[in-house]
Structure 1
Amino acid sequence: MKLARPVKVAAADSRVRAVCLPSKRLTHNQTEICIATGWGRDAEDGPLAGRLLEARVPVHDNAVCRKKYGHSVHIRSGHLCAGHLDGSSGTCVGDSGGPLQCALGDGRWILAGITSFGSGCAKPGFPDVYTRLSYYLPWIKSKMVRN
């Protein structure tokens, strides 16, 4: 999506703010806070949410998702593995395409991932899989340069 004009930095108390693109690959021990948001269901058999839902999720090494999804999905470098292994919270049906935002140590928030798929809704033992934005940065930047 290309905006007609630059986004103005909003006041700290604003509900709408710009998020930074990642400058490098996010690793599982690089951040303490990542939040997935979406308008999907809050239970696998429930209705779509009437308000924006959020889940604070830990980032894992992709090996965790390879182990869990290896039989059905080939986890690649362009994937990002994140979510609670105990099933306490995560993304759900209808959240695909939503953001995974992570806070860096310097206070900036980055768009680390885009919700791709999971086991349903926070199934114990199965983290969610996101599209890793840093992997696609060269392509994103090439499109941003073009008019």
Structure 2
Amino acid sequence: MGKKDPKWNNCVSCGNDISLLKLEKSSVINDKATTLQQALLPVVDHNICSQSDWWGSSAKETMVCAGGESQHGDSGGPLNCEGRNGKWYVQGVTSFVNGQGCNTPRKPMVFSCVATFIPWINEVWEAKNSKLH
């Protein structure tokens, strides 16, 4: 069961590529992901990331570019940032990486900015909860 952004049009770089999923049963972690992986990723300013020799128009205002060591399989992973209060917050969800391979210059990972979708997430959440009551 899942909900996708109503603006989704099968275009990953169009800026509406987020969905909410509810699994029918617990997922099983395979042997490739037995340890939580983390890395410090430098955020690339949107003015740089959206330059034509970087991601160009594929980098939308609703996205955050970060890192440089993108790997296939990273898609869907979180971009977490520590707040001033010491708590960690999900800022982005990996949207797309470079298809030319890992560590391609000027092709950082591109994350959908979660804050952009908060109104839609709340709408889906409220609709789900109203059905329970």
Residue 97 of structure 1: aligned partner: 76
TM-score w.r.t. the length of structure 2 is 0.62
Calculate the aligned-residue CA RMSD, in Å: 2.4
Alpha-carbon displacement from aligned partner over 1:68-118 (angstroms, at most 9, x marks no partner): 011xx522122111114xxxxx33001101111111111111111111122
Residue 54 of structure 1: aligned partner: 38
Choose between structure 1 and 2: higher helix proportion.
Answer: 2
SS at match of 1:143: helix
Select the residue among 65, 69, 80 that pairs with 1:81: 65
Instruction: State how far apart, in whole Å, the 1-side matches of 2:61 and 2:122 are.
Output: 18
Q: Does the 8 Å CA contact 1:79/1:131 hold for their aligned counterparts? A: yes
Residue 50 of structure 2: aligned partner: 66
Q: Does the 8 Å CA contact 2:75/2:97 hold for their aligned counterparts? A: no
Q: Does the 8 Å CA contact 1:57/1:82 hold for their aligned counterparts? A: yes
Instruction: State how far apart, in whole Å, the 1-side matches of 2:39 and 2:47 are.
Output: 22
Select the residue among 94, 102, 125 that pairs with 2:106: 125
Structure with higher RCO (Cα < 8 A, 6+ apart)? 1
Select the residue among 118, 122, 126 that pairs with 1:137: 118
Q: Does the 8 Å CA contact 2:74/2:94 hold for their aligned counterparts? A: yes
CA 1:75–1:125 in structure 2 vs 1: closer, same or farther (change >3 Å)? closer
* Gapped regions of structure 1 (runs ≥ 5): 4-38, 40-47, 85-89
- Residue 49 of structure 1 and its aligned partner are, at CA, apart by 5.9
User: In the comparison of the two structures, how many residue pairs are matched?
Assistant: 97
